[in-house]
């Protein structure tokens, strides 16, 4: 990417997970921007469930020079084994046969490993303010005046919200989340449990209609990632945001469940920082207003049912940086960002409409159909990559 102007413009990015540091990297590398990243957590948040980097997003991390290290961090899960209500094996399939990813090209890494690599690529060049956040911002003709929670006040040429699904930047720009959040009918909890089954680089998934419990071993002999998800037609409102009430809701959905689920619920009750949320998408008619823009989950979260949240964040950060660098004014640049990325986002968000939830069927009949499909998969080679993953060619 090459800069259109020679005067440095100042940018504040809110959020240091995936989209934020990726955008900071591209803007800094251009030499045209002075970048500050503010993150409300006291330090970079590590941990997190395995996430996928696919198709166009692999090209974005390759261009950032991160591919060799991401290949080292690649989890390379071997098998996914599906269990019935009593814990009996239904089918055991190559992990690649499920994801719809391109085997040997797409990556699966721990979210924390990706965040640390992105952060490491800019930490010495860009200002990071941890343990702070934007309190208020006000736009005027020459910039955006920002007041931070710490009391710090500064003016930036541009502000970007990379602050995730429940973005405060988005709320300040476009109003409450309910207007843009599309609930997809599932709630979930993610946490870690002791690796009592001795699992190694494999996924175990137990299902009954409308419920799934999964254990995902990423190579750590001590701990595995636990995932509980259940169908609930009506959105749970703010229940999952309240840790006590959220855990109670999950526990009641799995009250009579067999296999390892009782032990998982016990671990969930003890977990220090469980990640509870709904499967939902953010669908906005526009991703910016004036000098303030959104990127990643804040703008177009696709939900875990698509497995494309991280890939959209990486591609979105690249495209936003590219637009800012190749257009003289912010208005043209932000319009180009929207125009050039929207079809890719729509295709990926649309994956849920094409059966993205097929791993978590709601009825007994649909579960039986899925199981029949899985029994067939054990004999097949890995599925071809989905067109949505590669539909955008990076400029
Ligand atoms: C701790 C954590 C664990 C996750 N685990 C999973 C997972 O297991 N599976 C999965 O599918 N997805 C998970 N995700 C979401 C997944 O990482 C996203 O789909 C994807 O990474 C999109 O990245 P993002 O940078 O747009 O948003 P996010 O990864 O959500 O990052 C947003 C960042 O903004 C920060 N932030 C929030 N509000 C403010 C504020 N007001 N001011 C400043 N900073 C703020 C957050 O602390 C976070 O660092 C997780 C996210 C986090 C933060």
Please tell me the residue having the least CA distance from ligand 1 atom 53: 17
* Closest ligand 1 atom, residue 134 Cα: 42
Please tell me the residue having the least CA distance from ligand 1 atom 21: 310
Please tell me the residue having the least CA distance from ligand 1 atom 42: 133
* Closest ligand 1 atom, residue 133 Cα: 42
- Report the distance separating Cα 202 and Cα 210, nearest Å: 23
- Report the distance separating Cα 357 and Cα 305, nearest Å: 6
Chunked into runs of 10 residues, the chain (395 residues) has average pLDDT values of 67 98 97 97 86 95 96 89 95 74 78 96 97 97 96 98 98 96 95 93 94 93 94 92 92 95 96 91 98 98 94 98 96 98 96 70 92 77 71 90
End-to-end CA distance of the chain: 9
Determine contact, residues 50/75, Cβ cutoff 8 Å. Answer: yes
Confidence at residue 26, expressed as pLDDT on a 0 to 100 scale: 98
- At residue 66, the 3 state secondary structure works out as coil
Ligand 1 center to residue 142 CA distance, Å?
A: 31
Please tell me the residue having the least CA distance from ligand 1 atom 20: 310
Ligand 1 pocket, CB under 6 A? 14-20, 38-41, 45, 48-49, 51, 111, 133, 162-165, 168, 190, 275, 296-298, 304, 309-310, 313
Ligand 1 center to residue 164 CA distance, Å?
A: 5
Between the alpha carbon of residue 165 and those of residues 10, 88, 109, 169, 345, the distances in Å are 25, 36, 20, 11, 15
- Report the distance separating Cα 50 and Cα 80, nearest Å: 14
Sequence-ordered strand ranges (E) for the chain: 9-14, 33-39, 50-53, 79-83, 89-94, 107-110, 127-130, 134-140, 143-148, 153-156, 158-161, 181-194, 202-208, 211-217, 223-231, 275-282, 288-289, 292-294
**Sequence-separated contacts (24+) of 336-342 with Cβ below 8 Å:** 337/287, 337/288, 337/293, 338/286, 338/287, 338/288, 340/395, 341/315, 341/316, 341/392
**Is 9-76+106-180+281-352 CATH 3.50.50.60?**
yes
Ligand 1 center to residue 372 CA distance, Å?
A: 35
Extents of the domains making up the chain? 9-76+106-180+281-352
Confidence at residue 1, expressed as pLDDT on a 0 to 100 scale: 60
């Amino acid at each position: 990417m090459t800069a259109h102007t020679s005067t440095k413009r100042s940018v504040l990015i809110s959020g240091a997970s995936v989209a934020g540091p990726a955008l900071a990297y591209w803007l800094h590398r251009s030499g045209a921007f002075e970048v500050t990243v503010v993150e409300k957590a006291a330090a970079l948040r590590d941990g997190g469930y395995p996430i996928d980097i696919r198709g166009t997003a692999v090209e974005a991390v390759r261009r950032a020079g991160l591919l060799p290290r991401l290949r080292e961090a690649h989890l390379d899960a071997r098998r996914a084994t599906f269990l019935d209500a009593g814990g009996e094996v239904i089918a055991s399939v190559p992990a690649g046969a499920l994801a719809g990813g391109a085997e040997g090209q797409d990556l699966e890494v721990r979210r924390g490993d990706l965040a640390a690599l992105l952060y490491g690529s800019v930490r010495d060049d860009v200002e990071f303010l941890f343990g702070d956040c934007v309190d208020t911002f006000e736009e005027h003709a020459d910039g955006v005046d920002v007041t931070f929670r710490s009391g710090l006040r500064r003016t930036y040429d541009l502000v970007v919200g990379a602050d995730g699904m429940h973005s405060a930047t988005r709320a300040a720009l476009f109003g409450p989340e309910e207007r843009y959040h599309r609930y997809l009918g599932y709630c979930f909890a993610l946490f870690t449990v002791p690796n009592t089954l001795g699992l190694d680089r494999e996924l175990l998934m137990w299902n009954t209609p409308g419920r799934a419990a999964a254990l995902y071993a990423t190579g750590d002999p001590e701990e595995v990632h636990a995932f509980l998800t259940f169908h609930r037609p009506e959105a749970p409102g703010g229940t999952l945001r309240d840790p006590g009430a959220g855990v109670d809701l999950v526990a009641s959905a799995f009250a009579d469940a067999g296999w390892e689920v009782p032990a998982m619920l016990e671990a969930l009750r003890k977990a220090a920082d469980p990640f509870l949320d709904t499967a939902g998408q953010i669908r906005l008619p526009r991703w910016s207003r004036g000098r303030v823009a959104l990127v990643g989950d804040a703008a177009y979260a696709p939900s875990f049912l698509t497995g494309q949240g991280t890939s959209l964040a990486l591609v979105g950060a690249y495209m936003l940086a590219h637009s800012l660098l190749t257009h003289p004014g912010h208005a043209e640049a932000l319009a180009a960002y929207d125009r050039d990325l929207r079809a890719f986002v729509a295709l990926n968000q649309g994956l849920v409409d094409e059966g993205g939830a097929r791993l978590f069927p709601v009825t007994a009949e649909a579960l039986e159909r899925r199981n029949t499909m899985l029994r067939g998969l054990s004999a097949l080679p890995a599925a071809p990559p989905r067109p949505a993953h590669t539909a955008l060619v990076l400029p």
